[in-house]
Amino acid sequence: MIASLSAQPAPGFADDFQGGLLHSPCANVQVQKREHCRNEGTLACSSCTLVTYCSAECQKSHWKQHKIDCKDKLRQEEWQPKWMVEGRRPSFVGSDNESGWQQQTKFGLGLHLWGNMPASDILRLKDNEGLVAQQAFALALVASGDIRHLVLSINGLPDDYSGNLTLLLNDRDSTVTYRNLLLLEILTSVKDVNEAAETATHLWFSAFLPHTLWLQVLDLGKKLVDELRPGRPGTSTYTKKLTNGSSFFFDVRDETKMELFRAALSSSTRYDVAHATNEYNRVMLAPSRVDYRDRGIAAMEPNHRLSWFEHRRCGIVLPFAALNAHHNVPNRLLFSPFGDWMLNDSASPLESWDPEEVIKSGLKHGIKRADLYGCLYFHLQDHLRSLAARLRRFKVSLHLTNSDMLQLSKDINKGDYKKNGLLPTTEFDRVEVSNTIDIEYLGVRKVLESWGTKLKKENPHATLFAYSMNWSVTANGAAADDPNAIGHLMSRLPFVICAPGLFEPVFNSGPAYRKYLEKHGIKKAAKNLGLKLKEKHSIMPPRPLAPLKGDLDALPVFPDKESWYLWVRYCFLYASFPAPKLIFRSLSLLPICRRPSAESASVSATSNSRARREAVSFEIEGWDREVRGSMEEGRASPKFRGRGKGPRIASDTCKQLDLSAGVQRKKDIHYREMC
């Protein structure tokens, strides 16, 4: 059925698209005629599989438009990077006059508004406390970044969960915090969960929004600002009670930081969609970065190359076939108040999620594997619908703060948050501290002193998580670049390697990581605080994709070619945009669990079954019994076409570390490689 863009919605769409897509759409979009088919797409294009149609008639009607994509040169098997076609040295290699990547113009403001490691369920009850329906839990994400870990952790609770969940979400970056605030406000305020999920999806990840959606966001944002109440001198608070007994607290230590939020909401007077489009293109499609982009897509399958470029071109998270011309308002929470694109050109929404799970979500809704961003759209929709429903049904106390994490711990100890229910005696079942243990940030000792001591002593599964992102830059033997190591690794790989970074997933950098940890005093810091690293991880594996509860030196497991492709060759390939050497950068999640003890607690780390996240974790447990460790842890598109196009993923190599029974262990995994 062909309908006018202004016609009443048919199955698959809600009013004005506010409720989002419910299944794969028919790709028959006639933008110039302002018409599109609203039926479900069930018949995939046999050539590209990127689009689906409801009938042969719709496919025939749309062929004139679709053949431009279907026959795009990016889909050709013989496609080559531009530097190979032109017979020159690629720009990321550098040159004799030192005009390498260090000399290049800044692309984007570099804010980390999307996660650079896949989302994690930091409770993982089935491998720890069990699927208990009534137990109260307290979680602290003290350097949270966005809300992805919150999403998976709440959605991982049993359907019949009736306990009280306390969740502290803190980030020192004001832009990150007010984005989280607005996302949570949408998910708890918009009555229809489908509409709430659609609004949150695009506000979170799309560069341009439908006009009606932005008006809704603007209305909620202005109400939030109006309802901020003065707290202690120079602070603001926001309190919201939900109908199910849940509560939502927002506390800003420095009230002036909210000026950024106010400025973002009123930025329509400073820049328009034309400016935003030019700025987005300047960063994400910069001609001087073509070699970086080509390097990233060189090892991708042809259909994924086109899917990647389509998303990068317009920055909208939607299925390839979906109408996107109504996304004609800039997302003013991804652009600065003055119209600057706030992320790097290597940022991608896919970097925040497990690619294998993303594809599974898409397949459930009729999206083919080739359309990875379409799969991501439904992955987000499913999770955010579930989260919106659970926030209405479960008893959740959300505490959103905008503080330095060390100062936050001190303020909680002083009783500054007791009015909202965070007492000096509050202890947490899980504490996630991101990569703040890196020496470039706070370091192990300060983090453990502030937050390791806040683990719940009565819970033998209480855990503190961390990861090391930058350790391999300075540690000897951290990367698979030694000639002897490369020779050994080549003998183990059943295919030709076209880039050194592809060695990292099969390289055991554990010994180097243990030396690194010892050098920076992890044993002493843990011992002084009564903590101990675990020998087995029960929340996150030592390395992504390594076996949970497996050996600390276990390598990532790639059960099939698809897993290797998605984790190594595709999803994290182009994470090397800034510089080739970033491929050797590692992440480590350090969950620390603490057991009940009459006197003190010890740290231990446990590894998770299949960590698809780039992080290392460890846990802390007490001394009362045997000390056992377990480490874990809108615009119409520039060419006014009928669907979305946009940026690609970029990720880094990661390492994870485990501390067990006083022994520090670590593993590294490099998810993304270049070819």
pLDDT tens column, 581-619: 222 223 323 334 444 332 222 233 332 322 233 333 344
Q: Which residues of the chain have pLDDT under 70?
A: 1-18, 94-106, 230-234, 255, 479-504, 570-675
The per-residue pLDDT for 621 is 42
Query: pTM of the entire structure?
Result: 0.84
Q: Is the dihedral of CA 578, 581, 583, 586 positive or negative?
A: negative
Q: Which of 536, 559, 529, 554 is nearest to 623 (CA)?
A: 529
CB 369 within 8 A of CB 362: yes
Q: What is each CA distance from 508 to 307, 521, 552, in whole angstroms?
A: 34, 22, 10
| DSSP per position, 326-349 | T--EE-TTTB-TTS-B-S-TT--G
Q: Which helix (H) or strand (E) holds 371?
A: none
Q: Is 483 helix (H, G, I), strand (E, B) or coil?
A: helix
Tell me the one-letter amino acid at 661.
Answer: A
Q: What is the CA radius of gyration of the chain?
A: 24
The answer to whether 373 and 367 have CB atoms below 8 angstroms apart is no
Give CA 546 to chain center in angstroms.
Answer: 19
Residue of 501, 500, 649 lying closest to 571 (CA atoms): 649
> What's the pLDDT score for residue 4?
41
Helix (H) or strand (E) holding 37: strand 35-37
CB atoms within 10 A of CB 81: 17
Torsion of CA 119, 122, 126, 132, to 10 degrees: -130
Q: Which amino acid is at 164?
A: N
- Residue 443 region, left (φ>0) first, then alpha (ψ -120 to 50), else beta? left
Q: How far apart are CA 359 and CA 210, in angstroms?
A: 26
CB 78: neighbour CB atoms within 10 A?
Answer: 6
**Paired residues of 209 in beta bridges:** 329
Cα distances from 347 to residues 99, 205, 284, 650, in angstroms, run: 23, 11, 9, 6
Question: What pLDDT is attached to residue 570?
Answer: 65
